[in-house]
Structure 1
Amino acid sequence: MLKGIATAPGIGIGPVYLLELKSGEEETGNSQLLYGPEEIQAELTRLEEALGRAKRDLEELADKTRRDISEAEAGIFKAHILMLTDPTFIAGVKEKIQVEKKNAARAVEEVAEAIAGSFAALDDDLFRERAADIRDVAGRLVAKLTTRMRPAREVPPGAIIVAGELTPSQTAGFSRDTVAGIATETGGTTCHTAIVARALGIPAVLGVRGLLDQARAGDTAIIDGSSGAVYLNPGSELLEEYKKKKVTLEAGRLNIKCTGPARTRDGRQIELVANIRKAAEVKIALEHGAEGVGLFRTEFLFMNREEPPGEEEQFQAYQEVVAAFQGQPVVVRTLDVGGDKPLPYLNQGHDENPFLGLRGLRLCLTRQEIFKTQLKALLRAALYGNLRIMFPMVTALEEIREAKKIMAEARLELEASGLAVSRVETGMMIEVPAAALMADILAREVDFFSIGTNDLAQYTLAVDRGNERVTGMYDACHPAVLKLIDVTVKAAHRYGKWVGLCGELGSEIQAAPLLVGLGLDEISMSPVFIPPMKEAINKIAYHEARKLVRRLLELPGPQEVRAALSEFT
């Protein structure tokens, strides 16, 4: 039994399918050339992913060396990180891929050797040592590049996916009809891979140390997405026990009624809506009783391709979702990339800290042609139902005003072409502490707020939610985060604006009294959580939840908050 982080509930049982295969020396492909723009783009994407993985490895080594030896020795790996992120080195590798059409591993080797050779030729011991460091870093990167990722389409039905790490786009390629469970060595509860797994209803356990050393292709595995346990080659008794648990769990979910609204005992109604990524997920949302969509993550339309989708393609995708909900609200978040969701074709450049860099609305305002195309498609789709537009990663009033200005231009251009465009509610996400603290100002500029607790907690607590080394410090129930939510809700209601919540806190059934007591008007979550959340809210009295929240806001830490929630329920 291996222990990881429980990230997507449910039980998965099936044979292990290793998504990553180490190539032999003869299979590295270093003599192969690339053919066509599709292969070149795929190689650039592999390079970016390998750079990220190699950097994280070096950061862990530096941290371990600092703890076990000294700060001075840790400096060796810090220097290696600088080499790995050197713009000249990366530009040279990309040029070889794009111009000379060499694969990423070969390009890294050639560029690194050219740099190392120039240092080694100098008559200075320090420079010769630097040449050895360059070769060391390049070797680490090549090792990442010569790990072959098997395509999702090859996964046999009923398999347990095992990998070192998964990107959100890789996870999005899976289906709950074919994949029984997911286990990875890295990741945490709020990384985007976990979010996508929950949306798909696939049990997942992330952050399982030593998983790749223990798992073998074809092993029978059990994934317990509620406890975080991964069992490899379980005995017959344990296997039978989990098969019974799986049947009981699935039967229990089916017995929870989805009909009727979520209404507290004293009559306060709260909309329960779904987080989705594409039109194919609408059916799942409706089956689980969603009253609309609170977060349509449009970035998945832009992933795994060589160029952004055009206006017509986007319009078709948005129109299909809006029409399916027949007048119920569909909140669409405009393109939210950057951080752990880069798009190579946007040439976003290198950010030393991507989560504090050019992402979300900031990026869209610098790529207005892509932004305006999306807004046009959304405005057209709004004619088919109740579509609302939401801007992500807003920090300042000026950003909202600029975004609304571009949307007004998009509207005028559509009208000039003879298309009638109706008024669309426009809102913004509260993900940054600055936005929460300025909510009373921002509320006058928008029609609604949606609180993204994943990033709000990350930025408030200064904890990278995708870094398993500090996962224990991340908790959206921290009183500091709750106070920002409270401030936001009160400011919005003061101006007659509604407030939703679309972070993963909205999927925590235990947190139902907290979510009710904060005065939220809408909660958006992965569809599988809607029935149990509805059931929990129907048992709560709003006035009692309000009293509870006043007490929670005065507690010293998240542990005390969760203890009080357990007592309440």
Structure 2
Amino acid sequence: MLLKGIAISTGKVIGRAHRLIEHANNYSRSFLTSEVEKEKELARLAQAFNQAKEQLASLIDKTKREIGLQEAKIFEAHLLLLSDPLLGEKIRTKIQVEGKDAVWAVSEATEEIAQEFASLEDEYFRERAVDIRDIGRRLIACLGNGLEEVSDEATNTIIVAEELTPSQTASFSRRTVAGIITEKGGPTSHTAVVARSLGIPAVSGVTNLLDLVKDGDFVFIDGNNGVIHLNPDVEEIKNLPTNGQNNWREKRCIRNALAKAITRDGHEIEVATNLRNFEEAELALAYGAEGVGLFRTEFLYMNRQEPPGEEEQFLIYRDVLLALKDKPVIVRTLDIGGDKHLPYLEQDKEDNPFLGLRGIRLCLKHKNLFKTQLKALLRASSYGNLKLMFPMVTTLEEIRQAKTLLEEAREELQVAGIETSINIPIGIMIEVPAAALMADILASEVDFFSIGTNDLTQYTLAVDRDNEKVAVLYDAYHPAVLKFIYQVVDAAHRKGKWVGLCGELGGDSLAAPLLVGLGLDEISMSPVFIPAMKERIRALSYEEGRELVRRLLELPGAKEVREVLVKTS
């Protein structure tokens, strides 16, 4: 049986259905007949609010570490909503005035607010109804009711539900949950954002889903086209193309993932991974990562009251290098500023923080903080194939200042009798138009470039990607962004330097012909996207990709670029 829905997170996977049933609507409703009962319920409610706030604070920290800063903002917004006095007052009124028990009051109050959002014309605000329900679900769970959870022992599970909240989705393990299907929800929902960040294929908007799908049903999800194959027969299964995402444990898929990404006409592209922590290294290697294209170090500095010391950092960098063995590990030095702040670092409020003291600018101001990190990295350099990368570089002088501090750190270690690797490749992030335009000059001072498409898109198009009023304009497929990438690659290659790419565009299999044609030497992405990207590259021709890029660069907008890529996929 074929079911049709809305594709909200790409990928193709097969698994067994597991229905998540909401229990919160099945509780018994009690009228309160005395002031004593009301006071008791108000006390329970206050305790639930405190517990929910603690849970959200922990979830925010976990999401920052394991998923991403942008995704963590979803739950920061939940925390603000939970702290809104109007919400608490609406619930307390239902207890005090209407005499309803706490669970009933929470359910009714949050659903009323959710319905207000759901009735709005704007799709973005309609999707916020799910966030309100998420908060209500959390409070109800703290009051002793809640959702059935997914067993950690299950594998290749396809979650089937009427609707999922962002919190539920963030709690899923990529090793357990292979895919998601829901009756409600859309591509702009926070649930969709989290699913995409986790690399879990998802389809929403499937009519009568819970009536059609039973626990244990065999389900194939095509998250690229929004199609569900329910209980396909043997012959159908043979013809269903999966991206290996939920079969990474199987030796056959691992062997395919470990194979090189070489185009039909013999052009090889290194496929690397983005890492946030040491724990992701094993998963990345299993998925076929040929190195680390971006190891983010800011997570070592966040959610603490003092900066990490040299020894603590050294041990972490050493362990990552040892885990990757001889594979290259590109470590991006501290990238703080913009939307990321440290409580122990003096950071004045800025009207335009993304145009202010961030990345290498901040490090050059706080030299001691920067030098501590450089010393830890230098000490770790003898344990593997380390490459250093400076973020948010705009000028040649910034590179030279950073390299001077690196040499000072090396000399101080040598005085202390600590040896380091002699030749550590130095690179920079290309994230601002000035750096892209000056790539030919900057290339003379470094060994490699890595293009950060997230910020390059934001700065090129003058769009704050976190501002929902203009977020629709944020699109890395815009020809202006692609022209910058093309120019950077060309300038670097003329100077004999290699170029990688480590933004979200790198994990989008739709972009594979484009990335190949742009001439990139390396592409870095979340581990779960690696097998699909490698498979896609192997089916492409480098020369055809070069010709495709020449056509794409002449198009007027991102919409037209996407249309051409869809036709070629």
Normalization by structure 2: what TM-score? 0.66
Aligned partner of 1:438 in structure 2 is: 438
Aligned partner of 1:491 in structure 2 is: 491
**Equivalent AA in structure 2 for residue 409 of structure 1:** E
Aligned partner of 1:197 in structure 2 is: 198
Aligned partner of 2:9 in structure 1 is: 6
Aligned partner of 2:398 in structure 1 is: 399
**Equivalent AA in structure 1 for residue 304 of structure 2:** R
1:26 Cα deviation from its structure 2 partner: 3.3
1:526 Cα deviation from its structure 2 partner: 1.9
Judge conservation of contact 1:187–1:466 (CA < 8 Å) in 2.
Answer: no
Judge conservation of contact 1:9–1:203 (CA < 8 Å) in 2.
Answer: yes
Aligned partner of 1:235 in structure 2 is: none
Aligned partner of 1:473 in structure 2 is: 473
Aligned partner of 2:372 in structure 1 is: 373
Q: Map 1:262-301 to 2 at 5 A.
A: 262-301=261-300
Aligned partner of 1:328 in structure 2 is: 327
Per the alignment, in what secondary structure is the counterpart of residue 278 of structure 1? coil
Per the alignment, in what secondary structure is the counterpart of residue 290 of structure 1? coil
For these two proteins, the number of residue pairs brought into alignment is 472
**2:175 aligned to 177, 182, 187, which one?**
177
Judge conservation of contact 2:9–2:196 (CA < 8 Å) in 1.
Answer: no
Judge conservation of contact 1:7–1:188 (CA < 8 Å) in 2.
Answer: no
CA offset digits 1:4-62 (Å, max 9, x no partner): 843777578546599x9xxx85357599999xxx99x989999x99x9779989xxxxx
| Distance of 2:226 and 2:478 partners within structure 1 | 26
Aligned partner of 2:482 in structure 1 is: 482
1:340 Cα deviation from its structure 2 partner: 3.9
Q: Map 1:165-244 to 2 at 5 A.
A: 175-177=173-175, 196-198=197-199, 202-203=200-201, 226=223
Q: 1:262 to 1:45 in 2, by over 3 A?
A: closer
| Distance of 1:562 and 1:448 partners within structure 2 | 29
Per the alignment, in what secondary structure is the counterpart of residue 464 of structure 1? coil
CA offset digits 1:332-367 (Å, max 9, x no partner): 111223344444444544344443343322333333
Per the alignment, in what secondary structure is the counterpart of residue 440 of structure 2? helix
| Distance of 2:136 and 2:565 partners within structure 1 | 48
| Distance of 1:359 and 1:420 partners within structure 2 | 31
Aligned partner of 1:544 in structure 2 is: 544
Identical residues among aligned pairs (%) = 52
| Distance of 1:453 and 1:556 partners within structure 2 | 19
2:386 paired with 1:387: yes
| Distance of 1:309 and 1:515 partners within structure 2 | 37
Q: 1:180 to 1:391 in 2, by over 3 A?
A: same
Unaligned runs of 5+ in 2: 25-40, 63-68, 89-133, 143-148, 246-251
Q: 1:435 to 1:176 in 2, by over 3 A?
A: same
Aligned partner of 1:526 in structure 2 is: 526
2:291 paired with 1:312: no
| Distance of 1:331 and 1:192 partners within structure 2 | 27
Aligned partner of 1:421 in structure 2 is: 420
Aligned partner of 2:409 in structure 1 is: 410
1:460 Cα deviation from its structure 2 partner: 1.4
CA offset digits 1:68-116 (Å, max 9, x no partner): xxxxxxxxxxxxxxxx9xxxxxxxxxxxxxxxxxx9889xx9xxxxxxx
Q: 1:9 to 1:439 in 2, by over 3 A?
A: farther
1:502 Cα deviation from its structure 2 partner: 0.9
1:306 Cα deviation from its structure 2 partner: 3.5
Q: 1:56 to 1:245 in 2, by over 3 A?
A: farther
Judge conservation of contact 2:6–2:186 (CA < 8 Å) in 1.
Answer: no
Judge conservation of contact 1:7–1:194 (CA < 8 Å) in 2.
Answer: no
Q: Map 1:353-372 to 2 at 5 A.
A: 353-372=352-371
**Equivalent AA in structure 2 for residue 302 of structure 1:** Y
Per the alignment, in what secondary structure is the counterpart of residue 313 of structure 1? helix
| Distance of 2:542 and 2:280 partners within structure 1 | 31
Judge conservation of contact 2:13–2:243 (CA < 8 Å) in 1.
Answer: no
| Distance of 1:514 and 1:29 partners within structure 2 | 54
Q: 1:274 to 1:410 in 2, by over 3 A?
A: same
Aligned partner of 1:133 in structure 2 is: none
Per the alignment, in what secondary structure is the counterpart of residue 445 of structure 2? coil
**Equivalent AA in structure 2 for residue 526 of structure 1:** S
Judge conservation of contact 1:187–1:468 (CA < 8 Å) in 2.
Answer: no
Q: 1:195 to 1:297 in 2, by over 3 A?
A: farther
Aligned partner of 1:98 in structure 2 is: none
CA offset digits 1:146-182 (Å, max 9, x no partner): 996999xx98636969886679xx95x8632356668
**Equivalent AA in structure 2 for residue 508 of structure 1:** D
Judge conservation of contact 1:10–1:246 (CA < 8 Å) in 2.
Answer: no
2:565 paired with 1:565: yes
Normalization by structure 1: what TM-score? 0.66
Aligned partner of 1:26 in structure 2 is: 43
Per the alignment, in what secondary structure is the counterpart of residue 444 of structure 1? helix
Q: Map 1:134-145 to 2 at 5 A.
A: none
**Equivalent AA in structure 2 for residue 368 of structure 1:** K
**Equivalent AA in structure 2 for residue 6 of structure 1:** S
1:277 Cα deviation from its structure 2 partner: 1.5
| Distance of 2:543 and 2:452 partners within structure 1 | 25
Per the alignment, in what secondary structure is the counterpart of residue 295 of structure 1? strand
CA offset digits 1:238-259 (Å, max 9, x no partner): 87579x9999676855547134
**Equivalent AA in structure 1 for residue 480 of structure 2:** A
Judge conservation of contact 1:104–1:145 (CA < 8 Å) in 2.
Answer: no
Judge conservation of contact 2:11–2:243 (CA < 8 Å) in 1.
Answer: no
Aligned partner of 2:127 in structure 1 is: none
Q: 1:177 to 1:510 in 2, by over 3 A?
A: closer
Q: 1:44 to 1:180 in 2, by over 3 A?
A: closer
1:462 Cα deviation from its structure 2 partner: 2.5
Judge conservation of contact 2:244–2:531 (CA < 8 Å) in 1.
Answer: no
Q: 1:527 to 1:241 in 2, by over 3 A?
A: same
Moved more, 502-511 or 154-163: 154-163
Q: 1:192 to 1:325 in 2, by over 3 A?
A: farther
Judge conservation of contact 2:295–2:329 (CA < 8 Å) in 1.
Answer: yes
CA offset digits 1:195-242 (Å, max 9, x no partner): 7523xxx4468xx99xxxxx9xxx9999968259799xxxxxx87579
